C-alpha cells in the first residue's frame, strides 16, 4: 500500500514538474511570454468587465465625440457612450466569437480529417475534394457569402467564421492521421481486436492533437480578426453590441473629426490577434520540443 | 494430435505499382494444440504476411485472394470484421518485433495493459488493475506500479517487450503469434524473452507460432519447424527431423550456411531470392538448386509426406 502511495506521489510530482517545465519554456522566449501576458490580461478583462468598466456600455455619459479626458480617458463616441467601457465589454464578445468559431472548425475539421485519413479511398476523396473546393475560395469571401445568405447577426458571423476554417483543420488532421495510422502501435491495436472507432479516438486522436491545438490557438486571433471584418462590413454584430469591428464600422464616418474612435478599437483588435499568435508559437514550442529554431 | 489452426491453400497478393507481388502461394500449415511451431525463412519470404493473414490483418495493397484458415472449426477468413475482433487479442494474440513502436506513445503502459485485460474478460476496474500488476510480475517486471505509470519511451526495449508479452497473454489466448519477438532486442535479453514466452505458453497451454530467421532460436524453442521460401512452405517437420535429416535443398543450404567453429569459409546458397512479381516457373527454388531436373522448372512440386509428420515440397528429396 505504501508503495502504491509512493508511486502515486512520484507520478504526481512528475506531473507538477512537467507543468513547471512548460511554464519555463513559455517564459524563456520573450515573444511567447508577451503573448501569454496579453491573453491573460484580455481574459482577466473579459471576466471582470462589469467591474472594470467605469460606465455601462450603452449609457449616455457626456458630449458626443469628445476626445480623451481624465474622466473618459479614451474619449466618447458619436452617441455619447464611454469608449473605454465599450472596449472592455467588447473583449467578452471577441473572446466568445473566437472560442465558438474555432470550436466549430476544430471539432468538424478534426472529425472530417480523422475519418478521411483513417478510411482513405473514396471516403477520403469525397471529403477532401469538398474541402479543396472550400479552400479554393479566399476564406473571408466565403465567410461574407455565408454571413450574407444567413443574414447579418453575431451568431451567423460566428457560424460563418467557424465553417470557413473547417478545411484547414481537416487537412491538418488528415495529414497527421495518415502518418500515425501506419505506425506499429496502431497495427498492435488492430491485432488485439480494437474497433475502428476506438482506434481513431483513443490511439490516433491523442497522437495528432498537438499541432491541432497550436493551429487552433493561432486561429483564435484570425477568427477575431475575421469577425471584426464581417462586423465592419455590417454583416456581423449589429449596433449597439460593443463588438470591436462594429465599433470601427460606426467610427469610420467620423474618422476626420474623431480619429480616436477608430484608433482605439483598432489597437484592441491588433493586440488581441498579436497576443494569440505569439501564444500559439509558445504553445508550439511546448508541444513540439523538436521544432526549436 | 488435434489441430488448433489449419491454414489451407492460402494465396496473398500485393498490388503495387510495379506489378502484382505474389507474396503467398498456396500455403498449408497445421498448428496443433499447445505446440510451438517455428516459421523460419529469410527476409521477404512471407513469414509475417502469413501470420497476419491468419487474423486478416492484411491492409491494402495486400489482398487475401483465396484460402481458408480454420480455427477451432470456423473459417476465420470468412468471418465478418466484428466477429474477427472477438478472435483477435482474446483467442489469437500477437507479439511484435519492435515493442516500443507497438505501444501507444501518448498513453501510459498501465492504461494500455488494463484496457487489454478488460477487453479480454469482464472484470472491474480495480480487478483489472490487480490483474495487471500480477501479469507484470509474471513477465518478470519488478515494481509493476512504476511500470504501469510509465510511458513507453520511459521503458527499455526488453521491458517494453515484457509488457507486450503481458498484454498478449492476459486473455489466455489459444494461439500466440510472435513475429520476430527478439530481433529488435539486445542479444543478452533475447534468451530471457524467448524463455519467458516459452514458459508462459506452456503455463497457459497456448500454442505458439514463432516467426524468426534465427534457426538456432527455432531449434531450441519449438516442437516443429516450417521452412518458408519465396511464398511457399518448402519443408515441415519435427525440429529434430528437419535438423538431422533435412530434405529440401533450401533447408540443407540454410543449415550448411550456419556459422560453425570448424569451417573457415561460410557456405552460401548461390543466386538471390527471386522477384515475386515474376517468380521463376515451376519450383521457385529451382534456379538456385544444385540438383534440379527438367521437371523442376516446369511444374511446381507438390507437398508430400516422406515420413511421419515430415513433409517436403520437392520432386527429388
Mean pLDDT of B10-26: 87
Identify the pLDDT of residue A293: 45
Contact criterion met (CB below 8 Å) for B96 and B48:
no
pTM tops 0.80:
no
Confidence bin at A9 (pLDDT 50/70/90): low
B103 touches A at CB < 8 Å: yes
Give the separation between CA A222 and CA A102, rounded to whole angstroms: 9
In chain A, residues 138-167 whose CB comes closer than 8 Å to chain B: none
Please give the backbone phi and psi of residue B5, each rounded to the nearest 5 degrees, phi first: -135, 130
Distance CA A188, CA A256 (A): 68
Residues of B in contact with A195 (CB under 8 A): 85
Tell me the average pLDDT across B228-248.
Answer: 87
Looking at residues A182-205, what average pLDDT do you find? Answer: 87
Whether residue A185 lies within 8 A of chain B, CB to CB, comes out as yes
Closest partner residue to A206 (CB to CB) among B87, B96, B107 is B107
Kindly report which listed range (A120-134, A279-293, B139-153, B244-258) carries the lowest average pLDDT score: A279-293
Cβ <8 Å between A190 and B106? no
Specify the pLDDT at position A187. 85
B87 and A193 in contact by Cβ < 8 A? yes
Residue B265 has pLDDT above 80, yes or no: no
Interface contact B149-A185, CB threshold 8 A: no
**Mind telling me how many Å the CA of A110 is from chain B's nearest CA?**
18
- Chain B touched by A15 (CB under 8 Å): no
Q: Which residue has the higher pLDDT, B119 or A108?
A: A108
Kindly report, residue by residue over B151-204, the tens digit of the pLDDT: 888 888 888 888 988 888 888 888 999 988 888 788 888 888 888 888 888 888
Q: Which residues of A touch B86 (CB under 8 A)?
A: 193
Distance from CA of A194 to the nearest CA of B (A): 7
Give the nearest partner residue to A7 out of B88, B119, B149, using CB atoms.
B149
Rounded average pLDDT over A164-172: 94
Q: How far is B147 from chain A (nearest CA, A)?
A: 10
Instruction: Classify strands B3-15 and B92-95 as parallel, antiparallel or unpaired.
Output: unpaired
Grade residue A195 by pLDDT with cuts at 50, 70 and 90. Answer: confident
A46 pLDDT exceeds 60?
Answer: yes
Across the range B20-48, mean pLDDT stands at: 87
Pairwise CB contact (< 8 Å): B102 & A184? yes
Among A274-283, B246-255, B290-299, the range scoring the smallest mean pLDDT is B290-299
Mind listing the pLDDT tens digit for each residue in A231-276?
Answer: 888 888 888 888 888 888 888 888 888 888 889 999 999 999 999 9
Q: Which domains does chain A have, with CATH numbers?
A: 21-291 (1.10.3720.10)
**Grid coordinates in use for A155?**
451568431
Give the helix/strand (H/E) hosting B160: helix B157-169
Mean pLDDT score of chain B: 85
Inter-chain CB proximity A7 and B87 less than 8 Å: no
Interchain CB contact of A125 with B (< 8 Å): no
pLDDT confidence band for A39 (50 / 70 / 90): very high
Handedness of CA B290, B293, B296, B297 (dihedral sign): positive
Higher pLDDT, A226 or A72: A226
DSSP SS3 for B178? strand
pLDDT of A65 strictly over 80: no
- Reply yes or no on whether the pLDDT at B17 is more than 60: yes
* Per-residue CA distances from B103 to A62, A203, B108 (Å): 67, 10, 9
Residue of B nearest to A184 (CA): B102
Please state, for a pLDDT cut of 70, what percent of chain B lies above it: 99
Give the separation between CA B254 and CA B256, rounded to whole angstroms. 5
Residue A290 has pLDDT above 70, yes or no: no
Is B129 part of the contact surface with chain A (CB cutoff 8 Å)?
A: no
Q: Please say if the pLDDT value at position B240 is more than 60.
A: yes
Contact list, B184 vs chain A (CB under 8 Å): none
| Preceding peptide of A240 cis, ω within 30° | yes
User: Does the pLDDT value for residue A174 go beyond 90?
Assistant: yes
Amino acid at each position: 500500500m505504501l508503495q502504491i502511495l509512493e508511486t502515486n506521489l512520484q507520478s504526481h510530482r512528475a506531473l507538477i514538474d512537467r507543468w513547471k517545465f512548460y511554464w519555463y519554456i513559455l517564459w524563456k522566449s520573450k515573444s511567447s511570454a508577451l503573448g501569454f501576458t496579453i491573453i491573460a490580461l484580455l481574459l482577466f478583462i473579459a471576466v471582470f468587465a462589469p467591474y472594470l468598466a467605469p460606465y455601462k456600455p450603452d449609457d449616455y455619459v457626456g458630449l458626443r465625440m469628445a476626445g480623451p479626458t481624465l474622466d473618459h480617458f479614451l474619449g466618447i463616441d458619436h452617441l455619447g457612450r464611454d469608449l473605454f467601457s465599450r472596449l472592455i465589454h467588447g473583449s467578452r464578445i471577441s473572446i466568445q466569437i473566437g472560442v465558438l468559431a474555432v470550436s466549430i472548425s476544430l471539432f468538424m475539421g478534426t472529425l472530417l480529417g480523422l475519418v478521411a485519413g483513417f478510411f482513405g479511398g473514396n471516403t477520403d476523396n469525397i471529403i477532401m475534394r469538398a474541402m479543396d473546393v472550400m479552400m479554393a475560395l479566399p476564406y473571408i469571401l466565403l465567410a461574407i457569402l455565408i454571413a450574407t445568405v444567413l443574414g447579418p447577426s453575431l451568431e451567423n458571423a460566428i457560424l460563418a467564421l467557424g465553417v470557413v476554417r473547417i478545411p484547414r483543420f481537416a487537412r491538418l488532421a488528415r495529414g497527421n492521421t495518415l502518418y500515425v495510422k501506419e505506425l506499429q502501435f496502431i497495427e498492435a491495436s488492430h491485432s488485439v481486436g480494437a474497433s475502428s472507432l476506438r482506434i481513431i479516438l483513443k490511439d490516433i486522436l491523442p497522437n495528432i492533437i498537438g499541432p491541432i491545438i497550436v493551429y487552433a490557438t493561432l486561429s483564435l486571433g484570425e477568427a477575431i480578426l475575421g469577425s471584426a471584418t464581417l462586423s465592419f462590413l455590417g454583416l456581423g454584430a449589429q449596433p449597439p453590441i460593443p463588438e470591436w469591428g462594429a465599433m470601427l464600422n460606426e467610427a469610420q464616418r467620423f474618422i476626420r473629426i474623431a480619429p480616436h474612435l477608430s484608433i482605439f478599437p483598432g489597437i484592441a483588435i491588433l493586440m488581441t490577434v498579436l497576443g494569440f499568435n505569439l501564444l500559439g508559437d509558445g504553445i508550439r514550442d511546448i508541444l513540439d520540443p523538436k521544432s526549436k529554431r | 494430435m488435434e489441430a488448433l489452426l489449419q491454414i489451407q491453400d492460402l494465396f496473398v497478393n500485393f498490388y503495387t505499382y510495379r506489378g502484382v507481388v505474389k507474396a503467398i502461394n498456396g500455403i498449408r500449415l497445421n498448428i496443433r494444440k499447445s505446440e510451438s511451431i517455428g516459421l523460419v525463412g529469410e527476409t521477404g519470404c512471407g513469414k509475417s504476411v502469413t501470420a497476419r493473414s491468419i487474423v486478416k490483418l492484411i491492409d491494402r495493397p495486400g489482398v487475401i485472394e483465396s484460402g481458408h484458415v480454420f480455427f477451432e472449426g470456423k473459417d476465420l477468413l470468412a468471418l465478418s470484421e466484428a466477429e474477427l475482433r472477438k478472435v483477435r487479442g482474446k483467442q489469437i494474440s500477437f507479439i511484435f518485433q519492435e515493442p516500443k513502436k507497438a505501444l501507444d506513445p501518448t498513453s501510459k503502459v498501465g492504461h494500455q495493459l488494463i484496457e487489454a485485460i478488460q477487453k479480454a474478460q469482464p472484470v472491474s476496474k480495480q480487478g483489472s488493475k490487480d490483474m495487471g500488476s500480477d501479469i507484470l510480475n509474471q513477465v518478470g517486471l519488478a515494481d509493476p506500479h512504476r511500470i504501469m505509470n510509465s510511458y513507453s519511451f520511459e521503458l527499455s526495449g526488453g521491458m517494453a517487450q515484457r509488457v507486450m508479452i503481458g498484454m498478449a497473454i492476459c486473455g489466455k489466448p489459444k494461439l500466440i503469434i510472435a513475429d520476430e519477438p527478439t530481433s529488435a532486442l539486445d542479444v543478452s535479453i533475447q534468451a530471457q524473452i524467448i524463455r519467458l514466452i516459452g514458459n508462459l505458453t506452456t503455463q497457459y497451454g497456448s500454442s505458439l507460432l514463432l516467426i524468426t530467421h534465427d534457426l538456432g532460436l527455432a531449434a531450441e524453442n519449438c516442437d516443429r519447424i516450417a521452412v518458408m521460401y519465396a511464398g511457399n512452405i518448402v519443408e515441415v517437420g519435427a525440429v529434430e527431423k528437419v535438423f538431422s535429416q533435412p530434405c529440401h535443398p533450401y533447408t540443407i543450404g540454410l543449415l550448411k550456411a550456419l556459422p560453425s567453429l570448424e569451417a573457415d569459409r561460410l557456405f552460401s546458397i548461390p543466386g538471390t531470392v527471386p522477384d515475386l512479381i515474376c517468380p521463376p516457373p515451376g519450383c521457385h527454388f529451382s534456379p538456385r538448386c544444385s540438383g534440379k531436373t527438367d521437371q523442376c522448372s516446369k511444374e511446381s512440386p507438390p507437398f508430400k509426406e516422406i515420413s511421419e509428420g515430415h513433409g517436403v515440397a520437392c520432386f527429388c528429396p
